Amino acid sequence: MTIDGTQDETFDFVVIANRLPVDRDMSTEPPTWRTSPGGLVTAVAPVMQQNRGAWVGWAGATDQEFDPFDLDDMHLVPVPLSSEEIVRYYEGFSNATLWPLYHDLIVHPEYHRTWWDDYVRVNERFAERAARVASPGATVWVHDYQLQLVPALLREARPDLAIGFFNHIPFPGWELFAQLPWRSQVLEGLLGADLIGFQRAADAANFRRAVRINLNRSTKDTAITVPTADGERESHVAHARAFPISIDTEELDQLAREERIVARAREIRSELGDPDVLMLGVDRLDYTKGIRHRIKAFGELLNDGSILPGEATLVQIATPSRERIEQYRQIRDDVELAVGRINGEHSTLDHQAVHYFHHSYPRDEMAAYYLAADVMLVTALRDGMNLVAKEYVACRTDDDGVLVLSEFAGAAEQLTQAVTVNPYDISGLKARILMAVRMPDAERRRRMRAMRRKLRTEDVRRWSADFLGTLRGLAAARQGTAPAVMQ
Ligand code: ADQ
From 264, 69, 229, select the one nearest 155 (Cα to Cα): 229
Residues 316 and 340 sit within 8 Å (Cβ to Cβ): no
Burial of 192 (C-beta count, 10 Å sphere; 0-12/13-18/19+): buried
**Residue 23 neighbours by CB distance under 10 Å:** 15
Q: Is the dihedral of CA 410, 416, 422, 423 positive or negative?
A: negative
- H or E segment at 486? none
For residue 248, what are the contacts with CB-CB under 8 A and spacing of at least 6? 39, 42, 459, 460, 461
Cβ atoms 396, 422 nearer than 8 A = no
H helices within 282-425, ranges in order? 291-303, 326-346, 363-372, 387-395
Task: Ligand 1 pocket test: pick from 386, 390, 403, 406 the residue with the most ligand atoms within 8 Å of its Cβ.
Answer: 386
Exposed/middle/buried for residue 413 (C-beta within 10 Å: 0-12, 13-18, 19+): middle
Q: For residue 126, how far is its CA from the centre of ligand 1 (angstroms)?
A: 24
What's the alpha-carbon Rg for the chain, to the nearest Å?
23
Query: What's the half-sphere exposure (Cβ side, CA atoms, 13 Å) at 63?
Result: 3
The number of C-alpha atoms within 13 Å of 469 and in the hemisphere containing its C-beta is: 8
List, chain by chain if needed, residues with CB within 6 Å of any ligand 1 atom: 39, 168-169, 245, 282-284, 317, 319, 360-361, 366, 383-388, 391
Q: Is-cis flag, bond preceding 30, omega within 30? A: yes
For 36, residues 6+ apart whose C-beta sits below 8 A from its C-beta are 21, 22, 23
Whether 195 and 239 have beta carbons less than 8 Å apart is answered as yes
The tens place of each residue's pLDDT in the chain, 487 residues long, gives 555 566 789 999 999 999 999 888 888 888 888 887 777 887 787 788 777 799 999 999 899 999 999 988 889 999 999 999 999 999 999 999 999 999 999 999 999 999 999 999 999 999 999 999 999 999 999 999 999 999 999 999 999 999 999 999 999 999 999 999 999 999 999 999 999 999 999 999 999 999 999 999 999 999 999 987 776 666 799 999 999 999 999 999 999 999 999 999 999 999 999 999 999 999 999 999 999 999 999 999 999 999 998 899 999 999 998 999 999 999 999 999 999 999 999 999 989 999 999 998 999 999 999 999 999 999 999 999 999 999 999 999 999 999 999 999 999 999 999 999 999 999 999 999 999 999 999 999 999 999 999 999 999 999 999 999 999 999 988 877 656 555 4
Closest atom of ligand 1 relative to the 245 alpha carbon: 38
388 CA from centroid of ligand 1 (Å): 6
Residue whose CA lies nearest to ligand 1 atom number 4: 386
Ligand 1 atom nearest residue 286's Cα? 2
Q: Collapse the DSSP code of 298 into the 3-class scheme (helix H, G, I; strand E, B; otherwise coil) and give the result.
A: helix
Phi, psi of 389 (to 5 degrees): -60, -45
Cα 43 to ligand 1 centre (Å): 14
Answer yes or no: are the C-beta atoms of 302 and 263 closer than 8 Å: no
Mutate-to-test residue for ligand 1 from 388, 403, 413, 467, highest number of ligand atoms within 8 A of CB:
388
